[in-house]
């Protein structure tokens, strides 16, 4: 069979994703959906009207959201409902080309235009019994994809009028989205105006609008918007936060009606640290609690072990610990170049004569003999040492024994566990990359940065910002400027805060047991089948 070009291209995408035409369609994962979403509120009257026209036909209409996940269905005859249930076309199931092949939900979602798919044009064998037409739903104001509307029937019910009929319904939904967006903005504005009578700094964040009074403009930077949105997803009420400027604030968070947006009332708090310490912390990249412990250890000249993944700020931590004292570094990675004897001689010279802090870096790379020599030196020398290593949980044998010699430990979290800090970190690192310029990051760019996995941690983030800054000397760095270093595909939507935490826990457990899923499931306290399901849902390879 010779395929139309758009169908052939879709088949190719499905094939490249590893999907086979014989793959089952009755095992797609079903997840909870938001029944109060803006899309569903706008589409429900239209769907109900379509259902009236579908009465006594073998057609059905299916609505998918901006993640290509089915959120609503309407049927003529119940027999069609049973057929769709058998191929997982149910609310909560996500239809993308990599999971369901060519069809009138996944393909319009991928190409962003209306697509008809008839019988044998479906990639999966299970779908070849259907004829269908799908059309993307795009918000008229923001031009964002909001979902896909699909009308489906059996092959023998193919009708060329289904396309124009569905396009008219989509236009109606898009107009209702626009009207609803205007109403939501009006409600957000009313709540914002009311809050100004009781708070000095007021900020309102809607899906497509930002409102701030003059006090909030001075207090809250655009890079703080991503932090506030993330925090408000998981917690409402009152909370203390540190803004990118270093200012600690008490934030009262309140949802405005249904999906209109969030209202934030902010009150600055008395600084926790003395002024000279606070000024130094503003340009830092370390977590506040870690920096505080390092500074207190510095005052007492205590020995510290700084542990963490590469790129988490171990070198910066040694500089904070040294403070104004001289800092001498000796890296375990230099042993192959210097030789064990020369490296050990240099270590003993520093221990005997250096007046400040001696930093022995990457001690987890030391040969066993040198790790034992360093451990004995820690027992016998009064020198002020700081050791850096990989994560504590990964240290074994002589390296674990060496770490045990240092009782004050600071373990730096990977960047994926500091997503709320990414806006402030990005601003700090960008200032270091292009100091003295007027470059800034837009809220969209910051949200994209916060969605990345960052296996290289702070070092990788700095590299990405450096590459983006090379193309601009002033103005805004947008999400487009960050590509291709930070790509988020349409088929891989940004995870929620809870999903990201789940993703990180699973990947960490798998790494700890060398990828053994049986052991990882046992460590996580879940069944192996549950682990497989969550890995598929969160797109964790392996």
Q: What is the pLDDT of residue 278?
A: 35
Q: Distance (Å, rounded) from C-alpha 162 to C-alpha 135?
A: 11
pLDDT, tens digit, for every residue of 200-223?
899 998 877 888 888 888 788 777
- Global confidence as pTM: 0.48
Better-scored residue on pLDDT, 11 or 450: 11
Query: DSSP letters along 444-480, please?
Result: HHHHHHHTS--TTHHHHHHHHHHHHHTT-SSSEE-HH
**Mean pLDDT value of segment 136-163:** 86
Q: Distance (Å, rounded) from C-alpha 172 to C-alpha 91?
A: 22
* Residue 300 per-residue DSSP state: T
Question: By the 8 A CB rule, do 503 and 535 touch?
Answer: no
Helix (H, G, I), strand (E, B) or coil at 437: coil
Lowest mean pLDDT among 43-52, 179-188, 336-345, 438-447: 438-447
pLDDT, tens digit, for every residue of 355-409?
999 999 999 999 999 999 999 999 999 999 999 999 998 998 999 999 999 989 9
Better-scored residue on pLDDT, 487 or 293: 293
Q: Token digits for 406?
A: 């240092």
Q: Give CA torsion, residues 218, 442, 463, 468, to 10 deg.
A: -130
Q: What is the pLDDT of residue 277?
A: 37
Q: What is the pLDDT of residue 437?
A: 58
pLDDT, tens digit, for every residue of 315-343?
999 999 999 899 999 999 999 999 999 99
- Checking 14-23 for CB contacts under 8 A at 24+ apart, the result is 14/97, 14/98, 14/101, 14/102, 14/123, 17/97, 17/98, 18/98, 19/97, 19/98, 19/99, 19/101, 19/123, 19/124, 21/101, 21/123, 21/124, 21/125, 22/125, 23/101, 23/124
């Amino acid at each position: 069979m010779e395929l139309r070009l758009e169908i052939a291209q879709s088949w190719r995408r499905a094939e490249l994703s590893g999907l086979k035409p014989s793959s089952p369609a009755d095992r797609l994962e079903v997840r909870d959906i938001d029944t109060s979403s803006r899309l569903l509120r706008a589409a429900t009257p239209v769907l109900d009207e379509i259902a009236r026209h579908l009465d006594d036909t073998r057609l059905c209409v299916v609505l998918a959201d901006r993640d290509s996940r089915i959120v609503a269905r309407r049927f003529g005859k119940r027999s069609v409902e049973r057929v769709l249930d058998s191929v997982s076309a149910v609310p909560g199931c996500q239809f993308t080309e990599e999971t369901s092949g060519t069809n009138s939900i996944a393909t319009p979602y991928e190409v962003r235009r209306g697509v008809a798919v008839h019988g044998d044009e479906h990639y999966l064998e299970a779908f070849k019994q259907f004829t269908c037409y799908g059309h993307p739903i795009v918000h008229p104001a923001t031009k964002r994809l909001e979902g896909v509307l699909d009308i489906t029937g059996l092959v023998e019910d193919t009708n060329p009028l289904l396309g124009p009929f569905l396009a008219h319904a989509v236009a109606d939904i898009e107009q209702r989205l626009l009207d609803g967006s205007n109403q939501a903005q009006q409600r957000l504005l009313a709540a914002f105006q009311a809050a100004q009578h009781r708070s000095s700094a007021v900020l309102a964040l809607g899906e497509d609008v930002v409102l701030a009074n003059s006090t909030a403009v001075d207090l809250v930077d655009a890079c703080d918007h991503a932090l506030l949105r993330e925090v408000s997803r998981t917690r409402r009420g009152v909370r203390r936060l540190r803004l990118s400027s270093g200012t600690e604030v008490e934030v009262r968070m309140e949802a405005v009606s249904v999906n209109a947006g969030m209202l934030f009332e902010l009150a600055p708090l008395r600084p926790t640290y003395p002024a000279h310490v606070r000024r130094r912390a503003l340009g830092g990249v370390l977590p506040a609690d870690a920096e505080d412990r390092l500074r207190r250890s510095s005052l007492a000249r205590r020995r510290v072990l700084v542990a963490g993944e590469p790129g988490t700020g171990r070198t910066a931590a040694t500089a904070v610990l040294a403070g104004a004292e001289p800092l001498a570094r000796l890296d375990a990675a230099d042993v192959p170049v210097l030789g064990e004897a020369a490296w050990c001689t240099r270590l003993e010279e520093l221990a005997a004569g250096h007046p400040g802090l001696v930093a022995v870096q990457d001690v987890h790379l030391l040969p066993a003999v040198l790790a034992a020599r360093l451990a004995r030196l820690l027992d016998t020398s009064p020198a002020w040492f700081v050791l850096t290593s990989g994560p504590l949980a990964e240290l074994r044998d002589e390296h674990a024994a060496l770490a045990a010699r240092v009782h004050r430990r600071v373990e730096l979290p990977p960047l994926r566990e500091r997503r709320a800090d990414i806006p402030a970190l990005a601003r700090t690192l960008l200032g270091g990359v292009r100091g003295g310029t007027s470059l800034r990051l837009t809220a969209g760019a910051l949200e994209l940065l916060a969605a990345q996995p960052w296996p290289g941690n702070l070092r990788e983030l700095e590299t990405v910002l450096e590459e983006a800054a090379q193309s601009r000397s002033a103005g805004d760095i947008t999400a487009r400027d960050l590509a291709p270093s930070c790509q988020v595909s349409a088929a891989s939507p940004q995870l929620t805060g809870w999903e990201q935490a789940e993703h990180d826990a699973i990947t960490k457990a798998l790494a700890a047991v060398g990828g053994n899923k049986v052991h990882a499931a046992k460590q996580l306290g879940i069944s192996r089948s549950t682990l497989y399901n969550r890995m598929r849902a969160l797109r964790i390879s392996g």
